[in-house]
Chain A
Amino acid sequence: MLKNYFKIAIAVLKRRKFFTFISLFGISFTLTIVIVVAALTDHVLSAGYPDTARDRELFVTRMKYKGSKSGSDISAGPSFYFFEHYVSKLKTPEKLALISHNYATSTYINNKKMVTQLSYTNDQFWDVLQYQFLEGKPYTKQEIDNAEKVAVISESTRNNYFGNGVAAVGKYIETDNIQYRITGVVKNVPLSREYFYADMFAPYTLSKEDIHNTDLIGDYTGVLLLHSKDDIDKMKTEYNQMVAKIPMLSKDLDLRFTYADSYLEAFTRGLPFGNGADSGIGKFILIISIFFLLFLSLPTLNLVNINISRIMDRYSEIGVRKAFGASSKTLVYQFIVENLIITFIGCLIGIMLSFIIIQVFNRSNIIPDMELSINFRVLLFSLFACLVFGFLSGVFPAWRMSRMQVVSALKAQ
């Protein structure tokens, strides 16, 4: 039966080449956009260099205070003090990586100003995040404790400052009038790795901010590395219990929101979707789904119209099939399968097109060091989009066709 449907689907494609072109162009173009956006989203949200152990990590990215009466609020990253005095004392995590927000510093090369994004870290940061060292190594706990002016720089910073591929370990780099001895050079991190991107990393003890300030609001992000992913719930509970015991900032700001989140929760909490205890994942998924459906609806309507025109060419066939034993349900099934076959051909073209676009995107370096790829997840999502697209565009024409009276269909020729 499927073979027969396949033959018919291919024959219909061959029959009216202009319609076929319009159909396949619409399908492949739509799916190309869907695949590229999916690859981009996958890159942003999935684990990847240097954050490779995400399944057993929780992120502490936000500290928010709110007044239940006044409605006023303050929101920023947690402070170093908060991590040092509260989070680091938790029992469940194996390690705690700390990294400050980026500071734009000024570096001069041949009298030309270069902005260097500097972040401060603790020593465990280098254990939790798997940065690839092209040369040298991370600064040590000893160097941090001694507030030694040492730094790890990115490959592009090295190339800009010292020249392409020139060894930098042991040399000095000056930024904001401070000389740092370079202990290591790491492979570049794309800008899309929001928490882990920097041109230069230095010990937190060198930070101009007062790390002993007891404010809980600051500019750090913490990554809790757990022994196993099974510890996630336990970790969240322990974190929440710890936070509940911390005295409030003031009477006016009597609500506090800070959580140990999965990466996606931390991501959506940073968007306007998060509100208090709600990380906003549900709203985020809902909005993405609505956007996805709306985006698909236009080409779907177009394909529905084309399919209806095509079906009008096939009245006689519909009549014959019904006369010889096809029920309306069977015909709906046949037309949906045929439409899925056409959609899958469009999908294959879409995958090829998106592969080309992604290669061009990666080589163009529009977003430095960002390497998009069509991996298994993206491919699976593309197939799902293809199924939804094929199904939606096939159902209505198939339903309309199946309701046709046999006699009318046979007379139509």
Chain B
Amino acid sequence: MIHLEKIEKVYRTDTVETLALNSISLNVAKGEFLSIMGPSGCGKSTLLNIMGLLDAPSKGEIKIDTQQTTGFSDKQLAQFRNKKIGFIFQSYHLINDLKVLDNVELPLLYRSSTAKQRKELATAALAKVGLSNRVKHFPTQLSGGQKQRVAIARAIVGEPEIILADEPTGNLDSAMGNEIMEILINLNRTEGTTIVMVTHDEQMAKKTHRLVRLFDGSQVQ
């Protein structure tokens, strides 16, 4: 589903050149639940961002669902992300000015759909994460776990084939973290969604199909 070939990412300033990713090659199969671990600053999030086409590699190729994404325009990238990929972030990144339902509807705004369709799909996504009773709340009125569930609903509302989760349980206590993990595992099992998750938590990583470890920008496992 995701094919990375010799991915390299270099951050340059006037005086310093930092190699964040060093020739990473990785295949993620369709329906796989992969976790990425490693110490802080080893390049996990950079790798996830590159997989999600949020950042461009300095070298290497990315194929998603057999499609070569190198050379995509801003518009093509936006459309591709919208259709294929859902994101879950450690700090949720919900829009506090919008109600829960509006937050979940967000990815649907960028594809052709009616307001009624958007509302139906967002309501269904919120039901999947058990938040049907928080539709009209604002994010600031929710707990951390609830916010992350809203973020999951937002990630799945457009029925993407891939979900990229950057430390989704990082800001949550273990009980909440387990709940979120259960939702992701369930999503992977029932919907067949390919999930790549960055985590610091060994226990969470063990629940996934495969673990990739990074160290200083290189894949060590």
Contacts and interface: CB of A to CB of B under 8 A. Distances in A.
A320 B104 CA distance: 12
Q: How many A residues touch the partner, as a band?
A: 20 to 34
Contact of A328 (B74, B94, B95, B98): B74
B87 A329 contact: no
A7 B106 contact: no
Interface string A229-248: 00000000000000000000
A325 interface: yes
A324 interface: yes
B173 interface: no
Interface in B50-107: 52, 54-55, 74-75, 77-79, 81-83, 86-87, 89, 91, 93-95, 97-98, 102, 105-107
Interface in A309-337: 316-317, 319-330
A4 B97 contact: no
B78 A316 contact: no
Contacts of B30: none
B9 to A, nearest CB: 11
B102 A326 contact: no
B110 A413 contact: no
B54 A323 contact: yes
A321 B55 contact: no
SS class of chain A's interface: helix, strand, loop or mixed?
Answer: helix
Interface string B96-138: 0110001001110111000100000000000000000000000
A4 B97 CA distance: 10
B89 A322 contact: no
A367 interface: no
Interface stretch (A27-35, A103-111, A404-412): A404-412
B78 A325 contact: yes
Given A7-B98, A11-B97, A320-B93, A405 B55 contact: yes
Interface residues of B, number: 31
A328 B95 CA distance: 18
Contacts of A319: 93
A167 interface: no
A3 interface: yes
Given A11-B97, A316-B93, A407-B54, A4 B105 contact: yes
Given A317-B95, A319-B93, A323-B54, A329 B75 contact: yes
B75 A324 contact: no
B97 A407 contact: no
B75 A1 contact: no
- Among A319, A323, A406, chain B packs the most CB atoms within 10 A around the CB of A323
Given A407-B54, A407-B55, A326 B78 contact: yes
A320 B102 contact: no
Given A4-B109, A324-B82, 16 more contacts: A4-B105, A4-B106, A7-B98, A12-B97, A322-B78, A323-B81, A324-B87, A325-B81, A325-B82, A325-B107, A326-B109, A327-B79, A329-B74, A406-B55, A407-B49, A410-B93
Interface of A: 1, 3-4, 7-8, 11-12, 15, 316-317, 319-330, 405-407, 410, 413
List 8 A-B pairs, minimum CB-CB distance, nearest first. Answer: A325-B82, A11-B97, A325-B110, A327-B78, A324-B107, A406-B54, A327-B75, A320-B93
29 contacts: A1-B109, A4-B98, A4-B105, A7-B97, A7-B98, A7-B102, A8-B95, A316-B95, A317-B97, A320-B94, A321-B106, A322-B54, A324-B81, A324-B86, A324-B87, A324-B107, A325-B78, A325-B79, A325-B82, A325-B158, A326-B78, A327-B74, A327-B75, A327-B79, A329-B75, A405-B55, A406-B49, A410-B54, A413-B93
Interface of B: 49, 52, 54-55, 74-75, 77-79, 81-83, 86-87, 89, 91, 93-95, 97-98, 102, 105-107, 109-111, 115, 154, 158
